[in-house]
Chain A
Amino acid sequence: MTASTTAATVAPAEEVHHLQHGVVSALRDSWIEATRHLRVIPRNADLLIFATLQPIMFVVLFRYVFGGSITIPGFTYNQYLMPGIFAQTVVFGSAFTGIGIAEDMQKGFIDRLRSLPISQSAVLIGRTVSDTLRNMITFAVMLAVAFAIGFRFDGGLLRGIAATALLLAFAYAFSWIQALIGLSVKSVEAANSAGFIWMFPMTFVSSAFVDTASMPTWLGKVADANPFTLATNAARALYNGRDPGNSVWQALLWAAGITVVFAFLTIRRFTTTATRG
């Protein structure tokens, strides 16, 4: 470092930088933060491969290992199972939000962001939005695999797209739960286990893989009350061109409710509590 170059480089500004305010500026901050994560996706092939292999593994295991012994009235197992796999995969994908936030906290990057004159919520919105965009890539891969083994949009393209969007909205809501977990735990490892552990019972005690009527009565009741069952049923009905009843609206309400409540809790925690240091 030479004195001549630094002279022009670090001298304090005469004018304090113009401050940005308002919703538009906050959205722009969020997008700048989202691109921080998006631009590394192509560089992190390991993560993307893992995030794709896991659902392919589930597709193969359930479809070919258990599929023969599982019969669902009114469905081929393939058409029944795929929406459940999609739902589980995108909801699992939301765990990356918590892990990423915990990582940023542990490495001190959150302090950097919090000391900048930007919208504080942009840090969280940017993260959840970029994770949902990554989830879309995973979803596209899964759809390709599903089509290869015979899954079809029996309800037509539009309903297929609607079902996909609904599951992504549901996963987006869950990324806010994960964000709160990521902010609350003490390490990346803890975010990893705390993020995944409850999602196993939530996604398996549901209609994702089997008919809830085949479960012991008490467990079936739990599964029926599970919002994940609701989201899966709604998506399944749309993909297969069946009547979804009220499930679509109820699932969307759940997604909106979880998003509002957990975004509020997460942003409040983010702006009022000390980060680890």
Chain B
Amino acid sequence: MPIVEAEGLVKRFGQTEALRGLDLQLDRGTVLGVLGPNGAGKTTAVRILTTLLKPDAGRAVIDGVDVVAEPHKVRARIGLTGQYAAVDERLTARENLELVGRFFRLGDARGRSVELLRAFDLAEEADRPVKGFSGGMRRRLDIAMSLVARPRVLFLDEPTTGLDPRSRLGMWDLIESLVAQGTTTLLTTQYLEEADRLADRIVVVDHGHVIAEGTADELKTRIGGERVTITLGPEADVGATVAALAPFRIDGAEPAREGRELTVGVRPGTTTPEVVRQLDRSGVDVHDVTIQRPTLDDVFLALTGHAAEERTQEEAA
């Protein structure tokens, strides 16, 4: 039985429908990535699942407990890290963690804080006010606070939005290690790359409902995966170039030619150096080689025929 199960969730804010019958399921010990553009309804869904918002229709059950009927029991089972680091800036990192521990009536809130400070690499700044923390440190503390009571499900709402690229990589490592320890996680993101790396299964959300779901590989296959674009030199032989690319090509992917640019669908994980070496060996005259990884826009284009649109209005509520 899935640990999180939502059926037909509907939520309206005035005239706008943030959710129009959203379904999702999360199995114990796995990571579900909820992928969609701003305003797709991701945050609204998380807020309903974490009891912060009541749905207008539909139902959601977490660990066998209905979120509307028994929110208190649900809250004892979940950890939530929202889009904005929910830490008390005036307190130190240690005090923030102890506060949550005391609210949960942990026998040893102090000891638990020390454990988490070490695990989240915050031990050295434990007694500094959070006000001076970097975005990445705040986010780490925020997640640590969500884990004080060892929740059965962890909700991470856009955990890397607003982080610089280095902190984003650090956050990915951290989430991966949480997942490795068996933390069941529901993660929302706008980045296909992030869902690809962290999630076992992905649901793609658009305009308040799920438009596709599957593993990252399944989705990529549906949208054509990665593409390599080659800028041919004046002497280049198109036929030889296509032949040279055969080892990387996805079966049945037709090369597309536009002027001096040749684009071919390639298997996931193909790297630029590999392609360059292969072309070199074949003696093809090439000016440039680039690999495009599919983005959220590609997913949307493939699935809906339109690019990912922002609908900020809905999520502002």
Task: Please list the residues of chain A having a beta carbon within 8 angstroms of any beta carbon in chain B.
Answer: 1-3, 5-13, 16-20, 29, 32, 36, 39-40, 43-44, 107-109, 111-112, 114-118, 272, 274-275, 277
Contact = CB atoms under 8 A, between A and B. Distances in A.
Contacts of A1: 119-121, 173-174, 177
Given A16-B77, A108-B86, A11 B181 contact: yes
Contacts of A29: 103
B75 A10 contact: no
- In the complex, which of the residues A10, A18, A275 has the most CB atoms of chain B within 10 Å of its own CB atom? A10
B53 interface: yes
Contact of B118 (A5, A18, A272): A5
A18 B121 CA distance: 29
Interface in B15-35: none
B103 A116 contact: yes
B86 A7 contact: no
B228 interface: no
B2 to A, nearest CB: 15
B80 A115 contact: yes
A8 B151 CA distance: 13
B180 A3 contact: yes
B184 A20 contact: no
Contacts of A40: 90-91
B222 interface: no
Interface residues of B, number: 56
Interface stretch (B142-150, B207-215, B239-247, B286-294): B142-150
A127 to B, nearest CB: 12
Interface stretch (B43-51, B195-203, B262-270): B43-51
B302 interface: no
B59 interface: no
A107 B89 contact: yes
Contacts of B82: 108, 111-112, 277
A111 B50 CA distance: 10
- In the complex, which of the residues A12, A19, A44, A109 has the most CB atoms of chain B within 10 Å of its own CB atom? A12
Contacts of A6: 119, 177-178, 180-181
A277 B52 CA distance: 11
A143 to B, nearest CB: 27
Nearest to A103: B89
B260 interface: no
Nearest to B152: A12
B76 A274 contact: no
B116 to A, nearest CB: 6
Contacts of A9: 115-116, 119, 147, 181
A109 B95 contact: no
A255 B282 CA distance: 89
B236 interface: no
Nearest to B29: A12
Interface in B76-105: 76-78, 80, 82-91, 95, 99-100, 102-105
Contacts of B76: 16-17, 19, 117
B297 interface: no
B182 A11 contact: yes
A114 B51 CA distance: 8
B190 interface: no
B71 to A, nearest CB: 9
Contacts of A107: 84, 86, 89
A7 B47 CA distance: 28
- In the complex, which of the residues A17, A20, A40, A275 has the most CB atoms of chain B within 10 Å of its own CB atom? A17
Nearest to A32: B102
A10 B90 contact: no
A124 to B, nearest CB: 15
Nearest to A275: B52
A114 B52 contact: yes
B166 to A, nearest CB: 15
Contacts of B104: 17, 116-117
A18 B91 contact: no
